[in-house]
Amino acid sequence: MTPEEKKEIADRQTDSLTEGRSDTNGGYTLDRMIRIALDLSIENDFDKLMRKILLEAMDICHCDAGTVYVLEDDHLNFHTVYTKSLGTSTDEQNSNMNLPPVPLGRKNVCACAALDKKKINIADVYTSKEYDFSGAQKYDAITHYRTQSMLVIPMDDDKDEIIGVLQLINCQDKDGNTIPFDQSYEQIISALASLAAVSLNNHQLAQEVYDMLHSFVEVMVDAIDARSSYNANHTRSMVRYADRFVNWLNEKGSDLAMSDDQKDAFLMSIWLHDIGKLIVPLEVLDKPDRLGKLKDGIRSRIEIACLMEKVTSYEKPEMAEECEKKINLYRDAFKAIEDANTAGFLSDEKIEELKGYGSLKCRTADDEEITLLSDRELEAITIRKGTLTDGERKQVQSHVVYTARMLEKMVFKGIYRDVPFWSGSHHEFLNGKGYPNNLTADELPFQSRMLTIIDVYDALTAEDRPYKPPMTPEKAFGILDNMRDDGQIDGHLLELFKESNAWKKEN
């Protein structure tokens, strides 16, 4: 239900409850009290929440000034301060506020109200002997203000925990004269303070959940970073591009503009899109060349084979020439294998040459005859382009499935409800030829489409991949243009991304 719908329902309910009725506290109606409660319950902005609390309390009591303190550890922090007679807005007054926190001790009336959970009503702070108002008097001397009457109300939540203090100053009559706060105000302001405390508590709880979710994401990215540094750089780069792109859309007034909540959810899906790579074996994820660790085994096998031929030439001098030819052939084979291992692309001729070398017979230390390359090694060295075999590529691609599975085990609600889907669909294409679920255009929202474009762009231009040099932006966009022409990615979004310059490197 939207905030507007909630207000409409509350309006209908309060019309029937309060028609013609008002409470005895200065004509302040139950209808308005319910409206305040509703406003506080749906306000997500912490600063606006505090301002609403203070302004409503000041309006109820017809006072000139007030302060909202928020309890943190062993002190009260000034959060919202406002004085009507200054003639400036609450935003302007608070932007200039640089006040030290108030310690929880017996010297300050607001601290006493919090410590004792007690309402304090002072007719004139200059004549009061019960509390120390020297601080207020010093402030008056600086600002040429006269603090007189004061009402201090502790803000306690539904668990009877104090989370702040509401302090009102200088109640005024209809002619603007300062008068004491009527005792009838104490109860209604206490009710407002408690209502505000519950709303504030809910806000703080929501903030804690928000912080916990984001800290979890940081931990996951750090875990990926610890395994594979280039992959973490990839994620951070993507978030940077996406953040700039969304800001550009918002400044442009695009139909695709996002609210702060929508943007946060989108960025969350990017932070988490590669979390499944925690499951992929590191020797596959970070494989810098075709052979990887297999190369050491081939080198050792060739060294042993050459050594065995030398032994044979010593034992049988008549075979020395033949042994030398084999040694040279093994060395040529290893040179060809080394060159192919890091080559960008292998031609048909090169692949056939490697297959020939792979079928050479060589002897082990046990004098057994084997082929120079095993089936696994031959498959790896004859990869036409890239560094992964079909099996290894499937392992890497499985990270999307793992991402979806891992995120589905978490509870994503509200603005984050679609994060698992967006994260798990960043390798899907509009033409249905992506993976893992072969989704089509009708099933892929803007967020998934944009995530795919940014993912491909950064993968092509990344400077820290161990298996390939980075592409220039021009060449990368050329590949993306081809993907658009093939119906894989969203052409409109691609053009917007180009136009935004969000992809440019920071200087």
- Could you tell me if 317 and 300 are in contact, meaning their C-beta atoms sit under 8 angstroms apart? no
Q: For residue range 328-374, what is the model confidence (pLDDT) as tens digits?
A: 999 999 999 999 999 989 999 999 999 999 999 999 999 999 999 99
Query: 112-135 burial string, b = 16+ CB within 10 Å, else e?
Result: bbbeeeebbbbeebeeeeebbbee
- Whether 402 and 375 map to the same domain: the answer is no
Per-residue confidence (pLDDT) for residue 26, from 0 to 100: 44
- Whether 271 and 339 map to the same domain: the answer is no
- Could you tell me if 469 and 485 are in contact, meaning their C-beta atoms sit under 8 angstroms apart? no
483 in a domain, yes or no? yes
500 in a domain, yes or no? yes
* Residue 264: C-alpha distances to residues 162, 291, 406, 418, 449 (Å): 31, 41, 20, 12, 17
Q: For residue range 35-70, what is the model confidence (pLDDT) as tens digits?
A: 777 777 666 677 787 888 889 899 989 999 999 998
- Whether 249 and 376 map to the same domain: the answer is no
Cα–Cα dist 487/433, whole Å? 9
Domain boundary at 318, 351, 381, which? 381
Query: Helix (H, G, I), strand (E, B), or coil: what is residue 458?
Result: helix
- Whether 483 and 456 map to the same domain: the answer is yes
Asked if residue 79 has pLDDT above 90, the reply is no
Domain boundary at 324, 350, 381, which? 381
38 in a domain, yes or no? no
Report the chain's terminal Cα–Cα distance, integer Å: 45
Percent of the chain predicted with pLDDT > 90: 53
Asked if residue 484 has pLDDT above 90, the reply is yes
209 in a domain, yes or no? no
Per-residue confidence (pLDDT) for residue 7, from 0 to 100: 43
- Residue 286: which of 229, 233, 218, 339 has the closest Cα? 229
Q: For residue range 421-450, what is the model confidence (pLDDT) as tens digits?
A: 999 999 999 999 999 999 999 999 999 999
Q: For residue range 141-191, what is the model confidence (pLDDT) as tens digits?
A: 877 889 999 999 998 877 788 888 999 999 999 999 999 999 989 988 888
217 in a domain, yes or no? no
Per-residue confidence (pLDDT) for residue 480, from 0 to 100: 97
Asked if residue 127 has pLDDT above 70, the reply is yes
- Whether 313 and 368 map to the same domain: the answer is yes
What pTM did the predictor assign? 0.64
What is the CATH number for 104?
Answer: 3.30.450.40
Q: Binning pLDDT at 50, 70 and 90, where does residue 234 land?
A: confident
- Residue 238: which of 15, 13, 460, 472 has the closest Cα? 460
159 burial class (0-12, 13-18, 19+ CB within 10 angstroms)? exposed
- Whether 366 and 400 map to the same domain: the answer is no
- Which two three-digit tokens encode residue 65? 């000034």
173 in a domain, yes or no? yes
For residue 3, the surrounding DSSP H or E stretch is helix 3-18
- Which two three-digit tokens encode residue 148? 């007189």
Cα–Cα dist 76/111, whole Å? 7
Specify the number of domains making up the chain.
3
- Whether 65 and 179 map to the same domain: the answer is yes
195 in a domain, yes or no? yes
Domain boundary at 344, 364, 381, which? 381
- Whether 135 and 256 map to the same domain: the answer is no
Q: Binning pLDDT at 50, 70 and 90, where does residue 378 land?
A: very high
- Whether 357 and 415 map to the same domain: the answer is no
Q: For residue range 18-44, what is the model confidence (pLDDT) as tens digits?
A: 333 334 344 456 677 677 777 776 666
Write down the mean pLDDT value for the chain: 86
- Whether 51 and 192 map to the same domain: the answer is yes
- Whether 106 and 60 map to the same domain: the answer is yes
4 in a domain, yes or no? no
Domain region containing 96 = 43-202
More confidently predicted of 95 and 296:
296
Average pLDDT on 277-285 reads 85
- Whether 376 and 402 map to the same domain: the answer is no
